[in-house]
Structure 1
Amino acid sequence: MFDWQDLHFFLAAARLGSFTAAAAELGVDHATVGRRVARLEASTERKLVIRLPRSTRLTKDGQALVAVAQAMEAQTSAIVRHLRGSNDPLQATVVVSALPVLAAFLIAPSLPVFAQAHPEIQIVLSATSTVASLERAEADIAIGFVRPQLPGRVVRQVGDLSLALYTSHDYILQPVEHWRLIGFEPSLAHIPQQRWLDEFAAGRPFALRSNDVVTQAQGARAGLGVALLPRLLGDSDPGLVHVKTHPTPLSRKLWMSVHGDLRQSPAVRAVMDHLIEVCAALPGTGDHRR
């Protein structure tokens, strides 16, 4: 008999295409994934993975096992969600996946109030720009820009992440035609924020590109250029000046989703209600057409 956890590691490696990516997702080191997969191969007496320098490839036996194991994983996750979604007052840990800027500047600062009202509930806050899989129990609640379309999820819009241009007190004195922009790295050229910036730049150069809005804010505060930032971050920073401009910068809708099996959990329900309340107070929420 094999260890189910070994199969869990194998599925992650098969889905992501490398031990390194699987290790990052699972929060372990590369060697642990390799060791777990090797144990599974030994227990099943089958070669499942071909190890390449920077990736992995499944053998025919590996492909066959993935097809069966994915169904097992889905059933196991459904059982876990059912148990966690039951009206069990002892359920006290809720995992929330949220965009980093929301996690740092909105949700975390609001938690002391929540903890006073619900001292029995512990929140695990996962700050990530990727879409968490509620089906694989990566999170109980997810908040992000993407509206999930997967069956079984309960989804609602909880607010708008309003954006604006910001720069330093000194930099704003420079002529507009000499401004340089701060934007996102090339791999994120497709996102609405960068498309808006490219149009606004009108050929003016970018002084900094980063995938992290906190880094962009630091660059703007230092006088490097003009950045398009969430008002949640920019309005509260005395080192930044809100640049009024036309066209008005865009706003991104925020979607909260929870798996239907967990919606009735008292702890999950309490966290959802709290997140709905704090997101409704975001600067600019309700100012834009939906």
Structure 2
Amino acid sequence: MRNLESEACRIATMFDWQDMRYFLAAAKAGSLTKAAIELGVDHATVGRRVARLEAAIGVKLLHRLPRSTQLTEQGGALVNAAAAMEESAEATVRHLRGQVNGLSGQVTVSALPALAAFIIAPDLPVLLGAHPGLRLILSATSTVTSLERGEADIAIGFVRPAMAGRIVRRVGHLRFGLYGAPVLAARASEDWQFIGFEESLGGIVQQQWLDGFVTGRPFVLRTNDVTTQVQAARAGLGAALLPSILGDAEKELIRLDAAPPSRPLWMSVHADVRRSPVVRAVMDHLVRTFAE
């Protein structure tokens, strides 16, 4: 096994590290489907990225079983080698970012698309006006972002992270409503049609609530994009479960008689990066923005 791990270290520079990320997720989860849910993609994408990694290094890493995956001997060795290399590199990057002095530099914030567009972006002139040397990257994504791999400095989302080394705080709640065009609202509720989330997002709270509410009525459209859901609802295609900050702003939509649950919003930062004054400034601004 030691020889296998040495070989794994040697070949670790021969491939795209993003492919390695998918492989490690699949190895940890024990199935392509579970890894896809964790990464916020479909299982075919995970399978494709793992296959590309296998092709790049010329080694079979996973046995693909009907409902699970199993590491080959070479795959197990690569997991051990890559995990150690990844942690060492990420710790170095976090340490360096934590040493940035002054209120100038680049900060990456990962947030759900609706939060990025309707809460964070409109208030950025206040932040950037106070700190002209700041350069912000706002990554609008529904996937789970890894602060440990340096994909972002600050992450805001529905899931409360439990990783060691993270500092987490709740910054608010995102409320939802069921919305439809007037032409839909004029119909009897038993004749409503619905707009839902695609199958890869079937496990999220919003879709679970919709599944319970629909009770046999049809989904005429499924999409992972909330903006597309808004436009489809405006066109009268069906009722959509939307964040209230979107639905209430649409004059062509009516809030329908339903009471979906709200979801808590969590902001997290790695302890190493939190020491950076510029990261602290952005965090403080985001806390005030969500509080308002």
TM-score, scaled to structure 2: 0.77
> Equivalent residues in 2 for 1:102-181 (5 A)?
102-181=115-194
Q: 1:14 to 1:204 in 2, by over 3 A?
A: closer
Residue of structure 1 in register with 2:202 after alignment: 189
- Residue correspondences, number: 261
Residue of structure 1 in register with 2:85 after alignment: 72
AA at the equivalent of 1:259: H
CA-CA distance at 1:87 after TM superposition: 5.1
Aligned partners of 1:181, 1:60: CA distance in 2, in Å?
Answer: 47
SS in 1 for 2:285: helix
Which stretch shifts more, 232-241 or 64-73?
64-73
CA-CA distance at 1:138 after TM superposition: 1.1
> Equivalent residues in 2 for 1:256-275 (5 A)?
256-275=267-286
Aligned partners of 2:221, 2:151: CA distance in 1, in Å?
Answer: 33
CA-CA distance at 1:176 after TM superposition: 2.0
CA-CA distance at 1:171 after TM superposition: 2.2
Higher helix share: 2
CA RMSD of aligned residues (A): 3.3
Do the aligned residues in 1 keep the contact of 2:196 with 2:210 (CA within 8 Å)?
yes
Q: 1:122 to 1:3 in 2, by over 3 A?
A: farther
SS in 2 for 1:97: strand
Aligned partners of 2:112, 2:101: CA distance in 1, in Å?
Answer: 29
AA at the equivalent of 1:11: M
> Equivalent residues in 2 for 1:57-68 (5 A)?
60=73, 63-68=76-81
Identity of aligned residues (%): 52
Do the aligned residues in 2 keep the contact of 1:7 with 1:69 (CA within 8 Å)?
no
SS in 1 for 2:182: coil
Do the aligned residues in 1 keep the contact of 2:176 with 2:260 (CA within 8 Å)?
yes
Q: 1:202 to 1:64 in 2, by over 3 A?
A: closer
Residue of structure 1 in register with 2:218 after alignment: 205
Runs of 5+ consecutive residues of structure 2 not aligned to the other structure: 1-8, 27-31, 42-47, 64-69
CA-CA distance at 1:49 after TM superposition: 5.4
CA deviation digits over 1:79-137, x for unaligned, max 9?
22122112512751111111121122222222222211111111111121111111111
Residue of structure 1 in register with 2:66 after alignment: none
SS in 2 for 1:261: helix
Do the aligned residues in 2 keep the contact of 1:170 with 1:223 (CA within 8 Å)?
yes
SS in 2 for 1:96: strand
Residue of structure 2 in register with 1:287 after alignment: none
Q: 1:185 to 1:12 in 2, by over 3 A?
A: closer
1:238 to 236, 251, 255: 251
AA at the equivalent of 1:109: P
CA deviation digits over 1:121-165, x for unaligned, max 9?
111111211111111111111111100011110000101110001
Runs of 5+ consecutive residues of structure 1 not aligned to the other structure: 25-29, 42-46, 282-290
CA-CA distance at 1:34 after TM superposition: 6.4
Do the aligned residues in 1 keep the contact of 2:181 with 2:254 (CA within 8 Å)?
yes
TM-score, scaled to structure 1: 0.77
CA deviation digits over 1:224-256, x for unaligned, max 9?
11111001111111221222x24x221011100
CA-CA distance at 1:190 after TM superposition: 2.3
| 1:92 is aligned to 2:81 | no
CA deviation digits over 1:34-65, x for unaligned, max 9?
69x85xx6xxxxx555799xxxx987456434
Which stretch shifts more, 170-179 or 84-93?
84-93
